[in-house]
Amino acid sequence: MVAAWNERLESSFHLVVKAHRRITHRSRLAGIAGPLVAFLRSIEPLRALRVVLWQLPPSLQKNLDRLGEFLDELDATEREVLGARRPRLRHAVEFRHESWWYDDVAALLAKHRASFVAVSHPKLPETVLSTADLLYLRFHGKGRRLYDYSRRELKQWVESPRPHLERRRLYAFFNNDRHTNAPKNALAFRELLARS
């Protein structure tokens, strides 16, 4: 699969990989030395890889010590596994529990140059916190229209991250669903962003 992606994807393509659930959900970022090495080794050959998304489970509430230990281990393991063979990966952390939306969490992510993922979700804050050289947006849907957005809702999301975009690359992802709204929403978001 990696060889096929390397063959098909142009060098300008930006590939983002979501981290393995064994690390984020089952182990909840603790005791993950072996799985972390295995995961980084598996993605290392991807030439177009730019960002790794670490989506935490909704049941994992704020634990600054655990997050800090994980980020330290991630930095060290990445240096050990990837060395100088490729540029340093960028990392984005997506919290799914509202207890993480605090300045001390943002400061810890900034220290490790990791992005605090801004989310559009009915049960989570929509605050945009810029902590790295990229801005990462995840669109999960709103209320009864889960996984689908009106142009008005997308326009709000064009405006809210704008103050954070200077000298930052924007990555925006829409959850796919059985009605395949993600491509339609992504195209509309890109069009609105280009017009603003």
User: What residue ranges of the chain have pLDDT lower than 70?
Assistant: 85, 143-145
Among 64, 93, 115, the domain-final residue is 115
Residues 90 and 109 placed together within one structural domain of the fold: yes
Domain that includes residue 35, residue range: 1-115
Q: Please indicate, yes or no, whether residues 93 and 134 belong to a single structural domain of this protein.
A: no
The residue out of 115, 133, 151 marking a domain boundary is 115
- Reference 110, options 90, 126, 124, 95; nearest CA is 90
Count of structural domains, the chain: 2
| 98-144 pLDDT, tens digit each | 999 999 999 999 999 999 999 999 899 999 999 999 999 999 987 66
Co-location of 100 and 162 in the same domain:
no
What is the structure's pLDDT at 46?
A: 93
Model confidence, pTM: 0.94
Cα 157 to Cα 136: distance, rounded to the nearest angstrom:
12
Q: Are 136 and 46 members of one domain?
A: no
Question: What is the predicted pLDDT for the residue at 144?
Answer: 67
The whole-number pLDDT of residue 71 equals: 98
